[in-house]
Each structure stands twice: as C-alpha cells, then as structure tokens.
Amino acid sequence: MEGGFDGAGAAEVVAELRESFESGRTRSFEWRVAQLKGIARLIVEKEAEITAALDDDLAKPQIESFISEEHKQEPHCFFTLALTNIYLISMVRESCRFALKELKRWMKPEKVATSVTTFPSSAKVVSEPLGVVLIISAWNYPFLLSIDPVIGAIAAGNAVVLKPSEVAPATSSFLARILPDYVDNSCIRVVEGSIPETTALLDQKFDKILYTGNARVGRIVMTAAAKHLTPVVLELGGKCPVLVDSNVDIKVATRRIVAGKWGCNSGQACIAPDYIITTKSFAPKLVDALKITLEKFYGKDPLESADLSRIVNSNHFKRLMNLLDDEKVSGTIVHGGQRNEKRLRIAPTILLDVPSDSLIMKEEVFGPLLPIVTVDELREGFGLINSKGKPLAAYLFTKDRKLEEKFVKTVSTGGMVINDTILQVTNPRLPFGGVGESGMGSYHGKFSFDAFSHKKAVLSRGFGGDVPMRYPPYTAHKQKILRGLITGNIIAVFLALIGWTRH
C-alpha cells in the first residue's frame, strides 16, 4: 500500500503494475476467479471491521451498512427491508457472486455473422483487458463505490490502482491495510491520500479511469485523461427529480420516497431524490403523508434517531446550511429544519413551493433537504426536468400508463424507476451510469466487465476463395462484379461474371 507519495511514487506504482499486466498474469480465468473469491472472502471475514469503518466515517446505522454496503442477509436485515422497502445499491458480495457465475460466459468470444464480401470467413468479437486502470471512488458509499468497480476491472483482467476517498478516512485506511491480504498485490494496489496524491496519479498514463464524484472534479479528471487520450467513465450525479401523481397509493409512495431520500446516507447519495414535482392541488396531501412517514421512521426528534446517518463533515454541513438559510427559501420550510452542528446532524427537512432561482434548486442537494415544486399539470414537470442538467436518475409515481410512457420517452436521464426509488441499481443486468452533466459510461454486472474491456474485432480467412476482381488491374467488368457484391445485386454479379469470363 502506498501513502503520501509524489509523482515519482505514482509513476513507480503504475510501472510495477504495468509490468505485471504485460507478463500476462491478469489475463487467465483462474487469476480473475481467485481475486473475486478473495474479495468475497474479505466481506465475510471482515464484516465487523467494514461496519466499524463506515460508522466512523458516516455514523451509518449498522443495518444500513449491511444493506447498502455488504448485502448481509440476516433476519434483522429483512425486518429493516420490510420497514423501509429499500433494496439499495447493487451489493459488493452480490457483485462478486454474479461475476463469478457469469465470468466464463463474459470472456467467451462472441461469434458474429460475416458478409459476402469476406466469403469464406469467420468473425468474432474478443473481449481483452485494457491494461492498468485507475478507480477513484467517493465517500458516501466508500466501501461499495471502491470495491464494486474493482470487481469489474478484475473480471475483465486488468491491473488496478484504487484511490479511495480521503473524506472517508476510516474506510480508506481499512482498504489499504486489509485488501492486500485477499488479492494479488502485484496487480492490485490501494493508494491513500488527498488532492496531491490524486493529482500525481492523474499525471500518469492509465488505460482507463473510472471516477465517482461531482461534476467539478469530473472535469479535472477528464482534462487530465485527455493528455494521454485515456478513456473515462464518470459517475457524477445531479438533481434527481421525483414526480408524484395524485392517483398513487400515497402511503406506499411516501414510504418509498422517504426510504430513497433519507434512508440513503440522509440523502448523501447520487441517486437519492433531490426534489419533488407534484400538482398544486395534491401537494398539501403529499406533505402531510411525508410528515407522518418521517415520524414513523425516525421519531418525533429525528436528530436523536439511530437510523439516520450524520452529515459527512463540517464543510458539507455548512454547504447544506447555506442552501437552507438562503433568503429566497425563507418561509418555505414546512417540516424539519432542526440542526446540530456539533454532531453534524440535520433533521429531514421538507420545503414547499421553492423558487426556481434559489440555491437549493440550482445545486445538487446531496443531503436531507427535500424541496417540493408545484405545477398545474404533472406533465409540465417533464419540461422542468429537461430544462436542467440531465440527472443520474428520475422517478415517477403514477397509475397512469400513458403518463408513464410519456415520461420514459420524454425525460433524458441516466436511469429511471416507476413507482419506487433507487432500485434500478440493484439489478446487475441494468447499466448504471449518467448522461450529459450526470456522467458518461456505465458499469454494474456485465456492463462493468465491458467498461474495462476492449472489444477487439477478429476476422479469420483461409487461403481459398481468393477472387481476381479484388486486385489490379481494375477493369469495368471487375467494377460491375464488386458493385454487385457490395449492393447485394446477385443478378448483376452473375451477368458481370458471364461477361467477364467471355471477355
């Protein structure tokens, strides 16, 4: 493990990994399986340490750590799942299991059809590892967002540098200390540190970079990658909207909204609901239902609830207070607003009829504040969403099938869920990624394997079937035959061949 190194140290790490990769060590099925099994074993054997690190970094409720970071299916876990109806991020252990189950099929070359112009021939697409890849993870799910992309990079046969977030120091330290005991340290490294270490890494030539975080740093990553023409996957977030129709089962809808918003690190999640759009006539009923659900989940004094995560640090606490204390949202708080700066806690807060030019409607909230915007007709919300940067996720609650179809066709977003929140990431057969301002590229399951693979085209021919019209000198008859082959005009080819042979 490395820590506090400069550019020379970064170059040395990358050079060592590249040497290991070029030796062919990471390419075998057996090596990939061994690393994935090692990670799966780490999760089982170090469960208590993972949970403790997450608690140190985020004051995560233990049960939330099980659900969102480890997917440990204990009986008490099922109780919480039933209570909140959330099945959060595609879990690390499940990612390992899925990759182990599917890896042989993923690695198998894909046969494709050939054309008459290459007859006789065969063709296939071969997935080959890119080389040495860099994964820069985020602090809000520091274990999950570190290890889940590493699983994809390993499955694809790459050497990996993992840079955990320094904002989650306990988890970063845990990964640097423990991961080498479970994976091949000659091919997989953890680099700790902050901006200087990240900058030193970004100065190196990698074969792919996956970054999870905000758009500002995403631009820095992309600029650095451009120097080496390194492709990137950027998972950035954005303002994820929730549209709520008046025809919904309001008890179920509010449970699922509350679970997706405050059950995910108190809103500190890239796919957490950022704001609600509903009709003016339905808004009071929705607010009342949200209040009831919040009290059921977190009690009358949510600042004392053991089921709510704290804000990650004082900088993010102050940022959220700036959003809440903006004079343009004065008088719009209809629930919550309590805060405890010393303990970095903010109560679940609902704001109604927030002005569109307020800070909270311009910036990604990434916290326990939920503004509600009202419209006359719910379809007006489609235009409101599309007028902002494209979000990582969008959610619609409705029983109206036509409205659902219009929502899917009209709203551009990384992913969406109808009548629930955040569940799109629990299906490894769905890609997880953004579009526009919310990112580029995707991963999870097979998409993780593909993200860290090059799809190499391979065309194979024997020495038979060689045709003279392919080669000079080019005559009119040869051109007719080639034109017929390209356009699929078999009659023209036949007639040209007759003329050519007679000639």
Per-position pLDDT tens, the chain of length 503: 444 466 789 999 999 999 999 999 999 999 999 999 999 999 889 888 988 888 888 765 544 444 455 443 333 333 333 332 233 334 788 899 999 999 999 999 999 999 877 889 999 999 999 999 999 999 998 999 999 999 999 999 999 999 999 999 999 999 999 999 999 999 999 999 999 999 999 999 999 999 999 999 999 999 999 999 999 999 998 999 999 999 999 999 999 999 999 987 899 999 999 999 999 999 999 999 999 999 999 999 999 998 888 898 999 999 999 999 999 999 999 999 999 999 999 999 999 999 999 999 999 999 999 999 999 999 999 999 999 999 999 999 999 999 999 999 999 999 999 999 999 988 889 999 999 999 999 999 999 999 999 999 999 999 987 877 788 888 877 777 777 766 766 676 666 666 655 44
The token pair that represents 271 in the structure block: 């796919």
pLDDT at site 60: 53
Q: CATH 3.40.309.10 residue ranges in the chain?
A: 241-428
The token pair that represents 118 in the structure block: 């290459």
Q: How far apart are CA 144 and CA 443, in angstroms?
A: 13
Phi, psi (deg, nearest 5) at residue 16 = -65, -40
The total number of residues shown for the chain amounts to: 503
Residue in the block written with tokens 């489609």:
382
pLDDT at site 253: 98
SS3 159: strand
Read off the DSSP letter of residue 376: S
CATH superfamily, domain at 241-428: Aldehyde Dehydrogenase; Chain A, domain 2 (3.40.309.10)
The token pair that represents 188 in the structure block: 């997989």
User: Parallel, antiparallel, or unpaired: how do β-strands 349-352 and 333-335 relate?
Assistant: antiparallel
pLDDT at site 93: 87
**HEC string of 258-323?**
HHHHCCCHHHCCCCCCCEEEEECCCHHHHHHHHHHHHHHHHCCCHHHCCCCCCCCCHHHHHHHHHH
Q: How far apart are CA 244 and CA 278, in angstroms?
A: 5
pLDDT at site 495: 65
pLDDT at site 492: 63
Q: CATH 3.40.605.10 residue ranges in the chain?
A: 2-110+129-235+444-448
Q: How far apart are CA 334 and CA 354, in angstroms?
A: 11
CA angle 212, 213, 219 (to 5 degrees): 100
User: Parallel, antiparallel, or unpaired: how do β-strands 349-352 and 369-375 relate?
Assistant: parallel
Q: Model-level pTM greater than 0.75?
A: yes
SS3 157: coil
Give the alpha-carbon dihedral of 157, 415, 308, 333, to 10 degrees.
150
Q: How far apart are CA 100 and CA 124, in angstroms?
A: 23
pLDDT at site 475: 82
Q: Are 115 and 488 in contact (CB under 8 A)?
A: no
Q: How far apart are CA 35 and CA 12, in angstroms?
A: 23
SS3 73: coil
Give the alpha-carbon dihedral of 414, 417, 421, 422, to 10 degrees.
-40
Residue in the block written with tokens 């091919």:
187
Q: Are 240 and 271 in contact (CB under 8 A)?
A: yes
Q: Which residues fall within 8 angstroms of residue 257, CB to CB, at 6 or more apart?
A: 242, 244, 273, 276, 290, 395, 397, 421
Q: Which residues are catalytic?
A: 235, 270
Q: Which CATH number fits domain 2-110+129-235+444-448: 3.40.605.10, 3.20.20.10, 3.40.228.10, 1.10.10.10?
A: 3.40.605.10
Contacts by residues 42-51 (CB-CB < 8 Å, ≥ 24 positions apart): 42/178, 42/179, 42/181, 42/182, 43/70, 43/92, 43/93, 43/96, 44/93, 46/174, 46/178, 47/72, 49/174, 49/178, 50/143, 50/171, 50/174
Q: Is the peptide bond before 473 cis (omega within 30 degrees of 0)?
A: yes
Give the alpha-carbon dihedral of 424, 100, 448, 182, to 10 degrees.
110
Amino acid at 260: G
